[in-house]
Structure 1
């Protein structure tokens, strides 16, 4: 059997996990100080800043930040991501206690921010950043700013010099950042006022950099790797909170704070704000490029060199190939070597000079890693006359690409200092035929049964009564592969506890309720079928792949789904089409269906932008019958992390859509090996939406083709080529 019976082992990752010793704060050159910290301090909005005001420096590329701050009854929870070296994007959830107005006792709001680093700090010039704060919400936190920051050596001479470094910040703000100490209206345009009853979610272009502007500034003294202090002059009058509703009393424009770097990842702070309030913050910073645990895996098998032709010409004889059982014998010798690396033979073909191996990878997230291990095993087993290795990774029976490596190159370059680059230069990437003529199969690969059991957590966000709801329990999953490309799979869940079903807010949607009846599904049954389906995947021809899936496809819908994908091995572009006919499942998620049915589907374009950025455009019909398009931009790190954002616009008006105006959100995938430090293909994925409505809702289908296929194509394999000899 391909897999032994396996059990899913829960992985706990404490948020307060220390990542090592404290980080150095600054580096000195020619009397000037440049910030090189990989954990810059943040403000109360979860972005590089002073106390409440922004600074100009950017986070390190790829940095992911979770922050919580609270003062005066105002709590802000922020997720920030340095999407590119210059662009920072943030999502924030705000709660304001004692609002007691406009129908809200506690007012809750969702914000999106984006900021762009215009200029990096140098010996002479400061860092300069322009930012949009809460640019697509109701506008309570809306503000724009241009800010500059410069780092300096602390004052003093020689031994009398104060420790650490100082950063000075000055900026000009609009919106709520221009509400105190205004110097006028630079652009002569009035700004729309905040309305707490707006549905929000639309881009507020008409208010960007409009209305009064006010200066702000401050200073930050990073005393050492552990301690820092801050002082600022704030340009935020807190008109809705302090002046209009008395949430807290604002008597000063000055704020002060002290911060403690508890660990490499965690920074804590305490503050005195606006002359009346004590505040606290916690800032957790992670970088996908820096795993929690170093990868630990068995050393690769050394390449078995052949004798030279001149010293042993008999070793290169090809009469062995005439034996009827030659390929079978080689398969039986190769299979156990591959199995040690979690690789399994799908098909094998051997001629006197060439061997083609098609294999299934069950261990390595990187296909390149698997290709290298397969090549080493082949070099140990194949007769000396076999010079060319065609190594073909597969996914659910589909041949993805043919990686062609000369055996003599492997032997010559294994210990070369530039082995990876040199080997890539002489390696070929090409199309693999749908079927390998004259090959023998892997023997005991199919049929295969695997199962797992473990906990599940099903979160629900941003209910006004309970911002975070969740159900949790036990799930049991099973997969049965009858033959190459044929799969029957499913998952059963048993809810142990949770509060999603206890919500007192029924759906007010005017659209077919394809997602907003989550409360009814949560109340339906404690034990239910999450998915139960059968699928067939195959390669239909050159560059084309197909999938057909039928059954209970997701928690709320069941039916039939068909997909066709065109993706050349060396192309950045892929095109796909998916058609589905589904019915809504009963609330108990048993075997029954409700009356609602819909034909839904999309045509899709996928493009690899380079530098690990991906773009996807899906155009078609959604579950509520609306028609439109979804744009997704994703950054994929080479260790398997994926962080992206999406937005969907359809023919549903913002009024009919309801709160949020249109569907949008953040999707994230975290590879489990980032925490475990050992090879595994498992990953945890999730999506955060500011609000889940019925417009723009897309069917969830298991095992869509693009990611399966792309993982074995040239850009994915060559992009991680440094792993080929690991």
Structure 2
């Protein structure tokens, strides 16, 4: 109590100018804070941090993300040795969230409110209100009030309502009836930045480690914690700490921010410059229609254009040409930023077509099917080449290719058939198994895409497992009454496995409407038929989709055989792109286990292709029938390869972190779903990354 009063006195007396209370340093729980107590500091907007710490019988791994400048979230995986008789090490999953209520002012501290372990088993469950104030340039002072676990040491004798017990049988549900209830305790501390690399910290903790002390895995001797943090580099640090007069520990932390690419500016070669047109007096025939008879069927222009596009990683599929207008249909095999592909193709077109051609129509295709057209005026290219990209954006228009006529459109015969293939090593990771938190398989994976004609493709992927231990996992406790539609995945122990083998048909049934039909071995566990329709306007933030699947579970041992389980499944989907780079999705329908419900997703999207988000699925399966975890939920991250490499590529790396793999809320994993593919080529996404048009 005395510590809290002294901190409050310092806060009220502080008259230093306000600082930006951001912090790249994290505490022992993997979030901005002092030693293990929280603070009102926030990480830089968009930052991802990963930390691993160990002390005594404890180890903690935490992934944190600064969702907005004021909102942060953390997912933690903690291990406690000898805590539970059933396991040598008891592993616990927990989620935290914190919101900055008020930023620091000249005399006012920053104030934040937070929930700790609000979706887990409740072992770390607690809530807090905390204030942090900078005093000068190097000292930060923090004081706060905690509930739950954060009120287990020296409560103030104050309470708010009754705090109920958590049912840990299933876990994973929000413990609403506990939030900010029960005893209240005070905590606080100081951090002092000695120099650019070294920060010293001390705190008075309100966490008594009651559950751990009762089980003899921790000895709480003092509420005082101290630590020293040393920055190894711009994004990495190591922290040494001494907790509660009993344990010494170390923590390693690393962070990155999607806003800051590893290679600033990129390493790709410079594009061709725009070729200005000669004056009418210098080329009267080129400015009139006199050149039309001379070029005839324009085969020479098509050949030269195709060769120049190939150099830029673009494939010419069709072209039409008139005196004043040219349309080019193309496939982009190189640029993750579609606007960069448009910029490079536009400049090539200024070199390929006669001066009278003023209007360029650039139509990008998906598997040969036209998806989106960008209409560019040649005079704008000539006028704005050295101006900000925004000027060029204001001069273009976006349209559905089906909204206008395509006279004299000639397909390029060399575009089909087309074969794309790759062979590369792969690593499969399984996490959160209580007996082995991380399991790995590794081997070789090959895939091939054979495009027979516009819209018609054959896809195949297979992998050969060289070694690993994922299939060595023991069966989970059978606490679910659902069919084993996903929990049986480890039964597929074939060293050589066909991941998918499908025939796919993509189509444009009508304006703003896209279609997909997939038949064959749809994914590693299911085969069947999948059909999808998507309605999406070129410049709209809103889209609707529908998918219907007939799925049959594949045989565990026979690569091309099927089992006895089959089901009709599918969803209606709504998508919306919010301002600020946030994207929401809602799917309503039937899942693989026959349960009905909805999946809600929210992602933060960065204009370089990064995505970080979370999802949760709620179905008509009661939590007790679902089993441990209560409902399906997870975190997903998409990392564009060009962010690391610095050179253009359309490849991305997708990661999904699920606390548990269960059977409820399970969806079919079909490749080639329409929404993300279509949206990436359309106007709203193009505008987000239009700054790369002149790259």
TM-score (norm 2): 0.95
Aligned with residue 130 of structure 2, among 147, 159, 179 = 147
SS of the residue 2:108 aligns to: coil
Structure 1 residue 99 and structure 2 residue 70: aligned?
A: no
**Cα offset for 1:659?**
0.2
Structure 1 residue 545 and structure 2 residue 514: aligned?
A: yes
Aligned equivalents of 1:400 and 1:348: distance in 2?
Answer: 15
Aligned with residue 151 of structure 2, among 163, 171, 178 = 178
Aligned with residue 498 of structure 2, among 512, 529, 554 = 529
Aligned with residue 77 of structure 1, among 38, 48, 61 = 61
Aligned equivalents of 1:432 and 1:124: distance in 2?
Answer: 58
Which of 403-412 and 390-399 deviates more? Answer: 390-399
| Partner residue in 2 for 1:222 | 193
Q: Deviations over 1:11-61 (max 9, x none)?
A: xxxxxxxxxxxxxxxxxx995362466x52111111000111001011111
**Cα offset for 1:506?**
4.7
**Cα offset for 1:505?**
2.4
SS of the residue 1:57 aligns to: coil
Aligned with residue 363 of structure 2, among 392, 396, 412 = 392
Aligned equivalents of 2:579 and 2:370: distance in 1?
Answer: 24
Structure 1 residue 32 and structure 2 residue 32: aligned?
A: no
| Partner residue in 2 for 1:353 | 324
Q: 1:436 to 1:470 in 2, by over 3 A?
A: farther
**Cα offset for 1:312?**
4.1
SS of the residue 1:278 aligns to: strand
Contact 2:274 2:347 in 1 (8 A): yes
Contact 1:328 1:440 in 2 (8 A): no
Which of 651-660 and 531-540 deviates more? Answer: 531-540
| Partner residue in 1 for 2:541 | 572
Aligned equivalents of 2:163 and 2:633: distance in 1?
Answer: 26
SS of the residue 2:360 aligns to: strand
Aligned with residue 246 of structure 2, among 276, 285, 288 = 276
Aligned equivalents of 1:337 and 1:120: distance in 2?
Answer: 53
Aligned equivalents of 1:387 and 1:375: distance in 2?
Answer: 12
Aligned with residue 531 of structure 2, among 553, 562, 582 = 562
| Partner residue in 2 for 1:21 | none
**Cα offset for 1:405?**
1.1
Contact 2:321 2:408 in 1 (8 A): no
SS of the residue 1:32 aligns to: coil
| Partner residue in 2 for 1:308 | 279
Structure 1 residue 128 and structure 2 residue 128: aligned?
A: no
RMSD: 1.6
Q: How many residues align?
A: 679
Aligned equivalents of 1:324 and 1:680: distance in 2?
Answer: 35
Aligned equivalents of 2:410 and 2:174: distance in 1?
Answer: 59
**Cα offset for 1:310?**
4.7
Aligned equivalents of 1:682 and 1:104: distance in 2?
Answer: 41
Contact 1:528 1:588 in 2 (8 A): no
| Partner residue in 2 for 1:458 | 428
Contact 2:21 2:42 in 1 (8 A): no
**Cα offset for 1:98?**
1.4
| Partner residue in 2 for 1:55 | 39
Contact 2:445 2:461 in 1 (8 A): yes
Instruction: Summarize the alignment of residues 387-536 of structure 1 with structure 2, pairs less than 5 Å apart.
Output: 387-416=358-387, 419-433=388-402, 436-506=406-476, 508=478, 509-521=480-492, 524-536=493-505
Instruction: Summarize the alignment of residues 274-353 of structure 1 with structure 2, pairs less than 5 Å apart.
Output: 274-294=244-264, 295-323=266-294, 325-353=296-324
Aligned equivalents of 1:219 and 1:30: distance in 2?
Answer: 17
Aligned equivalents of 2:133 and 2:328: distance in 1?
Answer: 58
**Cα offset for 1:425?**
1.4
| Partner residue in 1 for 2:91 | 108
**Cα offset for 1:519?**
2.1
Aligned equivalents of 1:286 and 1:560: distance in 2?
Answer: 41
Aligned equivalents of 2:271 and 2:506: distance in 1?
Answer: 32
**Cα offset for 1:534?**
1.0
Structure 1 residue 633 and structure 2 residue 602: aligned?
A: yes
**Cα offset for 1:109?**
0.9
| Partner residue in 2 for 1:160 | none
Aligned with residue 168 of structure 1, among 136, 141, 154 = 141
Q: Which runs of 5+ in 2 are unaligned?
A: 1-13
SS of the residue 1:433 aligns to: helix
SS of the residue 2:380 aligns to: helix
Aligned equivalents of 2:541 and 2:84: distance in 1?
Answer: 54
SS of the residue 1:348 aligns to: strand
Aligned equivalents of 1:384 and 1:370: distance in 2?
Answer: 22
SS of the residue 2:298 aligns to: helix
**Cα offset for 1:459?**
1.3
SS of the residue 1:78 aligns to: strand
Aligned equivalents of 2:304 and 2:627: distance in 1?
Answer: 63
SS of the residue 1:587 aligns to: coil
Which of 617-626 and 323-332 deviates more? Answer: 323-332
**Cα offset for 1:640?**
1.0
Aligned equivalents of 2:141 and 2:441: distance in 1?
Answer: 47
Contact 2:87 2:435 in 1 (8 A): no
| Partner residue in 2 for 1:236 | 207
Aligned equivalents of 2:555 and 2:26: distance in 1?
Answer: 47
**Cα offset for 1:100?**
3.9
**Cα offset for 1:504?**
2.3
Contact 2:575 2:584 in 1 (8 A): yes
Aligned equivalents of 2:197 and 2:684: distance in 1?
Answer: 42
Contact 1:555 1:589 in 2 (8 A): no
SS of the residue 1:291 aligns to: coil
Contact 1:320 1:326 in 2 (8 A): no
**Cα offset for 1:544?**
0.2
**Cα offset for 1:427?**
1.1
Which of 301-310 and 402-411 deviates more? Answer: 301-310
Structure 1 residue 66 and structure 2 residue 37: aligned?
A: no
Q: Which runs of 5+ in 1 are unaligned?
A: 1-28, 154-163
**Cα offset for 1:193?**
3.2
Contact 1:270 1:278 in 2 (8 A): yes
Q: 1:589 to 1:131 in 2, by over 3 A?
A: farther
Contact 1:507 1:516 in 2 (8 A): no
Q: 1:587 to 1:111 in 2, by over 3 A?
A: same
| Partner residue in 2 for 1:25 | none
Instruction: List structure 1 runs of 4+ shifted beyond 4 angstroms.
Output: none
| Partner residue in 1 for 2:620 | 651
**Cα offset for 1:192?**
2.0
Aligned with residue 165 of structure 2, among 184, 193, 216 = 193
SS of the residue 2:275 aligns to: coil
